[in-house]
Amino acid sequence: MAVAQRSGRSRYRLILLILTAVTLLTLDFRGYGPLETAQSRVRDILEPVVSAVDVVLGPVAEVWTVMFSYNDLRSENEQLRAEIDSLRSADLRAAAQQDTLDRLLEATGVTYVDDIEQITASVLRDSVGNFDDDVVSIDVGHRDGVAPGMAVVTAAGLVGRVETVDTARSTVTMISNPNLVIGVRLIDTGDVGLGHGMAGDPTKFVVDTGLRWPETGDLSELPGIGSAVVTAAGSRYPANIPVGRVASVEPAEAGLVQLVTVDLAADVDDLGYVTVLSQVPVDEAPVGPDSPFDEQSP
């Protein structure tokens, strides 16, 4: 009981001391020496107490500050994320626009023909109805002057020919289709032959008709690897449209015929735009004693 009384009196004295100290510290009698001395001594006495309170309450104050500033920080973070997302979106849009422009320039920058009207078309991504990988739809038709048999190209070269035509759209058979036979000329030798796409490989074209193997056995008479292959003047297509470059030459049919494999110039698997050459196709290919077109029509 005595201990409890002493503890109560100690707390009472401590409270009284603190109130007295506060009173002394808040009095403002400038120039009154005894009061200034008393205030100084009170500050000295309370310094350990104030330091201890700062140590104890410091982390609490920091937590308190963080709690009240959390919403502001979250709002700033959300705003930064929104700005980053906006920049990323802008970059993606710019990349998409650049890709579209590149594709358009690739389709319309046709420099190897200058006397034929050109019709720019978009390649449609929907199905053409026959599930044929070697057939695509384009968004031009009769109303645009398109007719069956017209050559379809990009700046790189021949990509196919118009197959069917409706009012506002057409189908195009790709050069990669093995059933599409095309008359070509080898720039290196001037020889003319017939070729078609290689089954299973849309990047290759095979010339397997009309090119004789040198009777003398002189391999210098063969076209050089990397030499150009273009459409022949005697075919159904305008002359000198790039087809590709010679990848390999080997004998076929018991060494009587050249089998020339060509790397196609145009990428038919990644078309965004194409150009239709508005030239009415030839009904019949010219034939003659030295023409390869007397066996098959290109």
Q: pLDDT by residue (tens digit) across 6-31?
A: 555 666 665 666 656 555 545 544 55
Bin 248: left if φ > 0, else alpha if -120 < ψ < 50, else beta: beta
Give the dihedral of Cα atoms 69, 70, 72, 76; nearest 10 deg: 130
pLDDT of residue 296: 47
Q: What contacts 124, CB < 8 A, 6 or more positions away?
A: 136, 137, 138, 139, 169
Distance from C-alpha of 26 to C-alpha of 65, rounded to nearest angstrom: 28
Complete domains list, the chain, with CATH: 1-108 (no CATH), 116-282 (2.40.10.340)
Mean local confidence (pLDDT), 103-128 = 75
Query: Is the pLDDT assigned to residue 71 strictly greater than 60?
Result: yes
Q: What contacts 13, CB < 8 A, 6 or more positions away?
A: none
Q: What contacts 201, CB < 8 A, 6 or more positions away?
A: 176
Would you say 43 and 36 are in contact if contact means Cβ atoms under 8 Å apart? no
Per-residue pLDDT tens over the stretch 132-151: 678 999 999 999 999 999 99
The alpha-helical segments, DSSP class H, found in the chain are 2-26, 33-108
Share of the chain above pLDDT 90, in %: 39
Amino acid residing at 297: S
Distance from C-alpha of 84 to C-alpha of 76, rounded to nearest angstrom: 12
Question: What DSSP element (H or E) covers 153?
Answer: strand 151-153
Confidence of residue 220 (pLDDT cuts 50, 70, 90): confident
Backbone angles phi, psi at 36, to 5 degrees: -65, -40
Per-residue pLDDT tens over the stretch 226-258: 999 999 987 889 999 999 999 999 998 778 889
Would you say 190 and 177 are in contact if contact means Cβ atoms under 8 Å apart? no
pLDDT of residue 221: 86
pLDDT of residue 295: 47
pLDDT of residue 218: 80
Gap between the terminal Cα atoms of the chain: 121
Q: Which of 15-24, 72-81, 114-123, 156-165 is predicted with the least confidence, judged by mean pLDDT?
A: 15-24
- Tell me what the pLDDT averaged over the chain comes to: 75
Among all chains, which residue has been given the structure tokens 């590709």? 244
Distance from C-alpha of 150 to C-alpha of 68, rounded to nearest angstrom: 73
Question: Is 0.85 surpassed by the pTM of this model?
Answer: no
Distance from C-alpha of 10 to C-alpha of 108, rounded to nearest angstrom: 98
pLDDT of residue 297: 46
Cα angle 41, 42, 44 (rounded to 5 degrees) comes to: 65
Confidence of residue 87 (pLDDT cuts 50, 70, 90): low
Backbone angles phi, psi at 38, to 5 degrees: -65, -40
pLDDT of residue 96: 47
Per-residue pLDDT tens over the stretch 166-192: 999 999 999 999 999 999 999 999 999
Distance from C-alpha of 225 to C-alpha of 246, rounded to nearest angstrom: 5
